[in-house]
Chain A
Amino acid sequence: MRKNLNVIAAYSIMMGLIIFVGIFQSWNIALSIFNLCLISAVMTMGANIQWGYAGLINFGIMGFTALGGLAAVLISVDPVQEAWSAGGFNIIFSLLLIIAMVLAVRYILKNYKKSKNRTYIVAAIIILGIVILRFISEPGIEAIEGVDPAKTGFLGGLGLPIIFSWIVGAFFAGGLAFVIGKVALGLRADYLAIATLLISEIVIAIIKHEDWLTRGVKNVIGLKRPAPYEVNLQQTDWFISLVEKFNSSKLNLITDLTERQSALNQLVIEGSSVFVKLCYSGLFLVVVIILLILTQKALYSPWGRMMRAIRDNEEAANAMGKNVVKQHLLIFVLGSAIVGIAGAMLVTQDGLFTPGSYRPLRYTFLIWVMVIIGGSGNNFGAILGGFVVWFLWIEAAPIGLYLVNLTTAGLDDTHFLKVHLIESVPYFRFLMMGVGLLVIMRYRPKGILPEKIEIK
């Protein structure tokens, strides 16, 4: 108990801050911050597994997040029958062709010795394959995108409950990580960072522009929810009586019946959106806790000790007979899969998929700031980092506004400097993140909750 005191203290302060926002701003804001904190926590756990456990830099978090989001779309949206009948055959045939191409290249690479001829043959297969692929897929894609483009114009999904996408998202992201890992894991640390950053940009480019699959920048809106809808809640009897019960003391003060009814209606509308957010919080909390238990178990297992050994001294671990390459690949896939879950959760909560919103600053660098500030190698630290950084990211604007008003109190309200500063308040969050990261890296390089290894 004693040695975990700082963990408990840090988390209580964090919870206190969120409750503070709930009381002074609104419970709606507090809960939406809390939900996104939970999603960020899942992302940081994924990044922490890669960086904290194994020392792998993955700057492609944005790509894995987007793939998770894509999974949410492909699982939950109802299939578009006309699109399937218009171009489904071409698409399936193209997929088979890609599989055949990959198998052929693999076969050649495996069974023939490295030579110039082999390189030429592989190149020829790939180029020929791409040409044929374009001839087959193009009419199909055009047909699919032509089906009611204002509403669909894509193949749609499977029409399953969106919760399943959390698992599928993990598989998508893990699959991509497997390919990237095979290609790039041999690179030295900072090159791996650059390579993953660029690969994630390629992934986003594909998601943005392959309209037949993702609807691209036209966005997919109105995804099915795992939680009830506000409008339905507002008409359900048990919910109204629940709200009435909660606020009975406040309502009893109002004597006039019509006034009381309108006050109750207002409370029900507010309460419904809080209730929906609470449902999400519950779901997300379950995921975070399951992942936390699993990652903690892994960290203190023989496997976790091996990973740390590999991280701290690759050559020594190799000499002890550990397969460094294989373990790196494994942990890269696992970490990315967790990020994929977070991506699917994010889209589930928003109810919409907007490929244009995936930007490296928000989805890669910010997550890294979270991991570093929270404490890499320590799961509790990484989660705390997700909470602290997301909280500051959202609350930076109000804090910045307060600071600007404080420092320019002597100036006239129309003074150009004051007006300009107030206009640029949203950008104080960048400043805060940057300074926070620099200060932590300088004076507490292991983060708020540093890694603690105890042999159990």
Chain B
Amino acid sequence: MYPENLKYSEEHEWLLENNGIATIGITSFAVESLGDIVFIELPQTGTEITQFSTFGEVESVKAASEIYSPISGKIIEINEKLETEPELLNNSPYEDGWLIKVEISDNSEFKKLMTAKEYESFVNAGS
């Protein structure tokens, strides 16, 4: 049920790697537990972020939740559409609802992420 081509973190973020650039978002599991998302706070491009530390915030009608980066690197692009259409996160968490693109600084960090299968077992174990 989780896309096979992505890597996953325990904080429910996903990462898609392509030529040293990581596209990052939050998983359908995270989106469903948050409910209607109404606001996403993201840093500016150029910001350096560190694996497993927080870089933004998602606010839903029910609760606010921090977003943690699955990888270290420099943000080269943010999804500006989310500012006016936060519902993209609910409707399309793996495509239109991506959050940021990051220039990956350390490829060895991938080891600390999960495959789709591992993430699915992780989610099932937790619930």
* A and B are partners in one complex rather than unrelated chains: no
